[in-house]
Structure 1
Amino acid sequence: MKKHRERDGLLPRMEARKRKEGFTYRYHPIGKKPINLGQDRLVAIRKVLDLLGAGDDVGTIARLWEQFQETPGWQRYSQYTRNDYKQCSGPLLQIFGDTRAADIDATHVSKYLRVERAAAPVRANREAALLSNLIGLAIDRGEAKHNPCREVRRNEEQPRTEAPDPEDFQAFAVWVASLGGQKAVIGMAAEYAALAGNRKVEFLDLAWPQIDEAAGEIRVKRAKQRGKKRGEVIEHIEITPALTELIARLRAARKDDCLYVFSNRYATHYTPAGFKTEWSKLMSKALELKKIGRRFTFHDLRAYYVTRHKAERGALPDLHANPATTARVYDRTKIVKRRGM
């Protein structure tokens, strides 16, 4: 299929003629008289694409998704965000893939959020964010006029309020360590998250040169930074006695001088999807064998770290540019002490 470059929202050989109110559009075929296209720019573009035999999927969400991945904005996203959007595209394209962006209205978006994706309301919000980006691209390309996603309230997201119980987590860590092999590596990754507070995306590819035991610190790039700070904030994490003991166990489990600290069976680092699968299997088995009292997510380990840090060191750790975000999302302290008068 031929690709057509747009110029100021119009296709090549299209003309916009100023009127008292708005514009009227024409198309100039080579060697033929101009073709009147009317006053609606979107309809005019579709007519030209139909004339050229390229209009069947113009402005559809499926085609916009392909085009979105070729934009400069896509290149600026972190690999984590790109992977997340790719996961979001699956269910989104099942419903809207063949639909033109211009034909989607607020009722369609609302139905998607409340009915078609009712079983996964939080994930549906992420998918709606992607849909909004795709319709925004359609507007830039002259293939839609407004973005209905901005008119629809997102599903309410209830933040998790519980951190793993320390005794539960320790029991889980001891049990997983006893299993050995790759399961033990997953368990040690969980211990690292609980002790250092990093996100998975920040340490799944952690390499041994980033661990400087002589200086007593681990150096990790902070994820989810925006603007000029993207990729520039380096965290220096203190190597505590507990981390020293964990690093020793990780060195003992190292295979063939592998570069990565948390290596998989192929002597490379885990992908987020691969790690998620293995973690889910371990958590289900731990519940089945009653090794833990209740399920917790891997992301809860970040809250576990924050809550312990506050209790033992008297302050929240520096995890975000805005400390209020750390307090709101990760501090799950149940007891608050204050002085009386």
Structure 2
Amino acid sequence: MEERSMRKPVRDGLLPRMEARPTKKGFTYRYHPVGGKPINLGADRIEAIRKVLEITGGGDDIGTISRLWDQFRETPGWKRYSQYTRTDYEQCATKLLDIFGDVRAADIDATDVARYLRKERADAPVRANREMALLSNLIGLAIERGEAKHNPCREVKRNEEQPRTEAPEPEEFAAFATWLAEQRGQRAMIGMAAEYAAVAGNRKVEFLDLSWLQVDEAAGHIRIKRAKQRGKKRGEVIEQIEITPQVSALLARLKVARAAQKNEECLYVFPNRSGTAYTQAGFKTMWQKLMVEAIKKKVIRHRFTFHDLRAYYVTQHKAERGALPDLHANPATTARVYDRSKVVKRKAL
């Protein structure tokens, strides 16, 4: 009985009319054409599948990065990602597919990964790391599907990332915000969104779709879901931001802008021209355009990212209140990533 069961063909993961026959060293594969004798395919599973595809004339894109990208977006894991992560991966895929789109995952080796990181994307080393993280996920999916044997992305060291150490100076940020406020319209709206990030410390992904229903001026706070939470905490950590006099004044200006647009029914605190919430991509494009113009017109001397405003908030919070704000489950992360104080005050004996 045992000998008979050992000889039973294995079909899991194989193409139609293929079989895997157990041997002492593993398996050997065969293909059964209609009305013909079985064709030996050898002991390499991936090569066996390719041979069958060549015989049948189909599936030329099996195991390619472009097809794996399509399949990746249909997995349960993709559905668990936040919208911010999905958008980021979609941006990563644009350049990645230009280089590897038609290449099979099984044909990519460590030298290809290293060349992509060091040469193909030498002008954007940090972004290249994100793109390699996506490629690693796609090859991992290929391994699960039997379309690749190993993941070369795990064999190559990523580009070194230097954390940002600067935060906007208060005077420079004030000049930038005032410049935008004077222009009104959507430019002023972008400026007020920047002011909010600077005084509240929220990420764009947390407040771009902030609604007036989340603003409770009577209770004196704004309630927002904290992003980047994992596991059981995903979507369950609520940040309750105090409405200080500075935040209150900002809300008053936002209400004036809302009335000026003659759209009292608009739910969003920072709406775009159409009265809906800004997308990540739309806001980013607008921000970069304004930053380039501000530098050109010498409104500010140094360029800064929108995410730097989170560091600005942390640094100013520490200077004014003597402690770091609660931004992460691990306070050390806040101190390491966002505290960019240049002057450290301490008492003498």
Whether TM exceeds 0.5 here: the answer is yes
**Structure 1 residue runs of 4+, over 6 Å off?**
none
Gap regions ≥5 residues in structure 2? 1-9
2:68 touches 2:141 (CA, 8 Å); kept in 1? yes
Gap regions ≥5 residues in structure 1? 1-5
Alpha-carbon distance between aligned partners in 2 of 1:7 and 1:139, rounded to the nearest angstrom: 17
Structure 1 residue 34: Cα displacement: 2.9
Structure 1 residue 32: Cα displacement: 4.3
Q: Which moved more, 1:217-226 or 1:279-288?
A: 279-288
- Aligned residue number for residue 304 of structure 1: 312
1:59 touches 1:101 (CA, 8 Å); kept in 2? yes
> 1:41 aligned to 2:49?
no
Give the one of 288, 303, 307 matched to 1:295.
303
Alpha-carbon distance between aligned partners in 2 of 1:206 and 1:98, rounded to the nearest angstrom: 41
- Aligned residue number for residue 237 of structure 2: 233
Structure 1 residue 48: Cα displacement: 2.2
TM-score (norm 2): 0.93
1:9 touches 1:140 (CA, 8 Å); kept in 2? no
Alpha-carbon distance between aligned partners in 2 of 1:332 and 1:205, rounded to the nearest angstrom: 28
1:205 touches 1:260 (CA, 8 Å); kept in 2? yes
2:311 touches 2:338 (CA, 8 Å); kept in 1? yes
Give the one of 133, 136, 139 matched to 1:135.
139
Give the one of 212, 216, 222 matched to 2:216.
212
- Aligned residue number for residue 56 of structure 1: 60
- Aligned residue number for residue 321 of structure 1: 329
Alpha-carbon distance between aligned partners in 2 of 1:57 and 1:29, rounded to the nearest angstrom: 22
Q: Which amino acid aligns with 1:184?
A: A
Q: Number of paired residues?
A: 336
Structure 1 residue 217: Cα displacement: 0.8
Structure 1 residue 315: Cα displacement: 1.5
Give the one of 12, 17, 24 matched to 1:20.
24
- Aligned residue number for residue 3 of structure 2: none
Alpha-carbon distance between aligned partners in 1 of 2:235 and 2:36, rounded to the nearest angstrom: 54
- Aligned residue number for residue 267 of structure 2: 259
- Share of identical aligned residues, percent? 76
2:294 touches 2:300 (CA, 8 Å); kept in 1? yes
Structure 1 residue 9: Cα displacement: 3.1
2:117 touches 2:129 (CA, 8 Å); kept in 1? yes
TM-score (norm 1): 0.95
- Aligned residue number for residue 11 of structure 1: 15
> 1:333 aligned to 2:341?
yes
> 1:122 aligned to 2:130?
no
Q: Which moved more, 1:269-278 or 1:21-30?
A: 21-30
